[in-house]
Structures are given as C-alpha cells and as structure tokens.
Structure 1
Amino acid sequence: MSVSRQPGIAHPRLPLPEGQPEDLAAFQQWLSDAIPMVKALGISEASRQGEALTWQLALAPNLNDKGTGFGGALAAQTTLLGWCWVTLWLRERGIARDVVVAEANQRFLAPVTGDYRLICVPAEPQGPAQLANKLAERGKGRIVLTQQLYCGETLCLEASGSYAVLPPR
C-alpha cells in the first residue's frame, strides 16, 4: 500500500510484531512508504544476523558523474541503516518510539565500483544493554552504531552515528 506523503504529517507507525520475528520485507515496504527516497536507493535485500543488520544494494541508482558510488547517497544509506537498526531493535522489544539521528560521520576509503553491502552493528558490545537501561531509567536514550560498506571484499566506507530514542509522546 503506497500512501502519498505530505510535509508536516507523520506517517502511521507499522504495527509492532507482537512476539513474532520481524518480517523484514514488510518493514522494508513500510519504510519505502514512510520515507519516499528509500524506493530509489537500490536496496535489494535486508537481513539480520545477531547484532548485525545488513543491506545488499545496487550501484546503478547511486552512481555519481564518475561512474562510482555517489558519496551523498552512500552517506544517506549509512544514516538510514542505523536508524533502521535502532527502530528494529525497539520493535523486537515491543517498544514503539521515535528514533532520530543525533550525529553522523563518514570516512570514504575507496570508490564503490559495483553492487555493495552495508553492515550496521553497535559500536560497543554493551551498547544495546546500556540503551535498554537508559530507556528503563529515563524513558529515553542513545546508542552509537557503526556502518561498513563493502564492494566485494574491499572496505569502501566506514561510518558511525549516534541515534537517540525519544521519550514517549
């Protein structure tokens, strides 16, 4: 179901999975409706393994004038992947909250010359537990996540972001 988005109007939340594993395809469809630019990012597959959230992406929709990956698109993807990591982590725990990026940075290491994968994990192993504690104590919290972009076996981009979980409305 595609919904026309209007500035200043929040998109309806996706119902929580309620004890079921998250359907990543349904989440991806909701994400495409909620954030229209997602349709153009070339995400072909999303998967989760342990603490890692991974996207497989096509280079073609993200080309720059040189025929390699456009840095702005890659930066947007790393930021969005981190936002998805936190949102999915909350949903697993039955928590429907707003998540925002507080800070993000990228370091470009090599050109992206073909289809690629982005992997997002907590920057610190204790990060998720610390976030859970802050949410329980204060109703809000932050976590730092890292993202790595690989084209084949070549690490092309390293990024990190601080994501804030806002208090209930």
Structure 2
Amino acid sequence: MREIGIPHPRLPLPAPGQDDDPARFLAWLGEAIPLVGHLGIRRMTRDDRELTWELELTPSLNDKGTAFGGALTAQATLLGWCWTTLWLRRHSLARDVVVAEASQRFLAPVTGDYRMVCFPEREEGPVSLAEQLAARGRGRIALVQQLWCGDTLCLEARGDYAVLGGS
C-alpha cells in the first residue's frame, strides 16, 4: 500500500548492456503509480527510438462512448515519463524524471482500442540529453506522443521532461 509523501522504492537497474523486461517494468510502475492499473495498458514494446503502448479503450470511456480527453492526456504524459526513465535505465542512470511542460491536440475521436507511440521530438534529442547530463548532471528532452486508432492519428502531444540531478 502506497503512503502519501513516501517515495516508492526504485526498480533496480538492469545489468549493463541489458534492457528492462517490459512486463517487470509495468508491474513495478503499477505499484509505484496506482493509477497505472486503471489505464488499460495491454502491452509495452520498445526499440532504440520509440516506446509503444497498446491500450484498451474501455477504462477511458467518456459519456459519449469515446475516449475521455483527460485520460488520454494522463496516458500521454506518463508515456513520455516512461520513455525518459527507460532511456536513463538503459544508460545505467537512476534519476528522477518530472514533466516540465506538456500540451496536446485532439484530432479525432478515439472509438476503439488504440496504441500510443512516444519518440524524441528531434533526432538529436537523446544525444543532447546525454551531453547535458555529462556536463551539468541534469538535463531536459522534448518528446512527442501520438495516439493511433487503427490508421487514424487521434491525438498528438508534446512534452518536455526534466531529468533532475543525481543524489
């Protein structure tokens, strides 16, 4: 049971050269952030550039029978946080990540299960983040989140994620 004001223990870093097991990371995330269990995340996949969630619509239904914008906003924000956290973990860094700024554009109603994809806004974003961390011990990266329902782009979000200095 989570307690207010008490940080949740970090997930141990993967061994150097190893990636996080997606199921293990999602299980930890659900313990660390109780809301995660209610978001309808069915699957998480990751490559060098993108982090993708496959989600069920049902937990995010609104009164019109489509997705509730507030739920989508929370999912997009958290997906960016996860992208940044997993990038840090891949580089053997245990750091705190916070969203510094976020915006979204709703382009079409979400009428079925969907996928959200997160990637750096600029191709050089991860390299720039690594340079900032090496020089100052903290940094920032701009990420894009897109929500696709089939072949339809329904939401495009953008967020700046700050990596705080190490302790």
- Do both share a fold (TM > 0.5)? yes
Show the counterpart of 2:60: 62
CA RMSD of aligned residues (A): 0.5
Show the counterpart of 1:110: 108
> Are 1:149 and 2:150 matched, yes or no?
no
Show the counterpart of 2:156: 158
Structure 2's unaligned 5+ residue stretches are none
What is the identity percentage for the equivalent residue pairs of Structure 1 and Structure 2? 64
Counterpart of 1:18 (choices 15, 19, 26) is: 15
Displacement after TM superposition at 1:98 (Å): 0.2
Query: What amino acid does structure 2 have at the position aligned with 1:65?
Result: D
Displacement after TM superposition at 1:49 (Å): 2.3
Structure 1's unaligned 5+ residue stretches are none
Q: Distance in 2 between matches of 1:42 and 1:120?
A: 17
Secondary structure of the 1:26 match is: helix
Secondary structure of the 2:158 match is: strand
Structure 1 runs of 4+ aligned residues shifted over 3 Å read none
Query: What amino acid does structure 2 have at the position aligned with 1:136?
Result: A
Query: What amino acid does structure 1 have at the position aligned with 2:162?
Result: A
Question: 5 Å matches for 1:111-150?
Answer: 111-150=109-148
Secondary structure of the 1:78 match is: helix
Q: Distance in 2 between matches of 1:21 and 1:161?
A: 24
Q: Distance in 1 between matches of 2:161 and 2:19?
A: 23
> Are 1:49 and 2:47 matched, yes or no?
yes
> Are 1:72 and 2:100 matched, yes or no?
no
Q: TM-score, normalised by structure 2?
A: 0.98
Displacement after TM superposition at 1:18 (Å): 1.5
Query: What amino acid does structure 2 have at the position aligned with 1:8?
Result: G
